[in-house]
């Protein structure tokens, strides 16, 4: 769960709230192991794309899951033939609220941090001489340079295409959000990023 370093700034009230929130989002649901493995393959492929390399040794995931913003037909147009099928799946799912995270859907050792705690860290961070100074408390506390947040993935019935919404934060002027389309030739293959549809950049 939430473990803070001894030298971290004291945030008693927000830590209690964050701990309760994290316990709720991590414990409210336990999805079947095969589905968790499927999701882990999707998330790992997207994270590698975002960090432009191997999975980071210190991975911070914000909880709970993001609500999946339903993309327009125009937004999914670049996906080609897969766009229609994925659009139908997204419309059918139409998630209206954030869902809890299954820890098994992410690599071992991942640190799960409630949105409220992350927001509080940046809200109370001292303002320095550079735009990135507000990131110093986060990096010192979690020994990580970034954090990510994800929606639940939307997967086609044949298991060959998937769409996930993400947010990636890595600095005051470093980050983005958008959709990632993943594809594989058979269900025995690993998920590969086929296209990245960026909606916003910071």
Average pLDDT, consecutive stretches of 10 residues, N- to C-terminus, the chain (202 residues) = 46 58 50 85 97 94 94 91 90 80 94 97 89 93 97 95 97 95 97 97 92
pLDDT on residue 5 = 46
User: Considering the entire predicted model, what is its pTM?
Assistant: 0.82
What CA–CA distance (Å, rounded) separates 68 from 133?
31
pLDDT on residue 22 = 55
pLDDT on residue 15 = 64
Tokens of 200: 């916003």
As beta bridge partners, residue 63 has 114
Tokens of 111: 């640190």
CA-nearest of 169, 161, 202, 157 to 66 is 169
Burial 35-48 (b: 16+ CB within 10 A, else e): ebebbbbbbbbbbe
φ, ψ dihedrals at 61, nearest 5°: -115, 125
The span from the first CA to the last CA of the chain, in angstroms, equals 30
pLDDT on residue 95 = 67
pLDDT digits (tens, 9 = 90+) for 107-130: 999 999 999 999 999 999 988 888
CA-nearest of 106, 86, 101 to 155 is 86
**Residue owning tokens 């419309």:** 91
Tokens of 161: 């295409």
């Amino acid at each position: 769960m939430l473990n803070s370093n001894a030298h971290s700034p004291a945030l008693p009230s927000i830590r209690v709230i964050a701990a309760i929130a994290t316990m709720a989002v991590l414990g409210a649901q336990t999805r079947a192991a095969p589905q968790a493995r499927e999701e882990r393959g999707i998330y790992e492929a997207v994270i590698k794309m975002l960090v432009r390399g191997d999975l980071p040794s210190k991975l911070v995931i914000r909880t709970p899951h993001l609500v999946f913003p339903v993309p327009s037909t125009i937004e999914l147009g670049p996906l080609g033939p897969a766009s229609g099928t994925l659009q139908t799946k997204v419309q059918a799912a139409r998630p209206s609220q954030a869902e809890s995270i299954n820890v098994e859907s992410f690599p071992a050792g991942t640190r799960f941090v409630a949105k409220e705690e992350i927001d509080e860290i940046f809200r109370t961070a001292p303002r320095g001489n550079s735009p990135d100074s507000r990131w110093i408390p986060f990096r010192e506390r979690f020994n990580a340079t970034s954090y990510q947040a994800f929606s639940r993935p939307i997967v086609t019935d044949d298991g060959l295409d998937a769409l996930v919404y993400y947010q990636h934060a890595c600095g005051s002027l470093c980050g983005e959000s958008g959709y990632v389309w993943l594809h594989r030739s058979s269900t025995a293959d690993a998920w590969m990023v086929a296209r990245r549809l960026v909606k916003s950049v910071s």
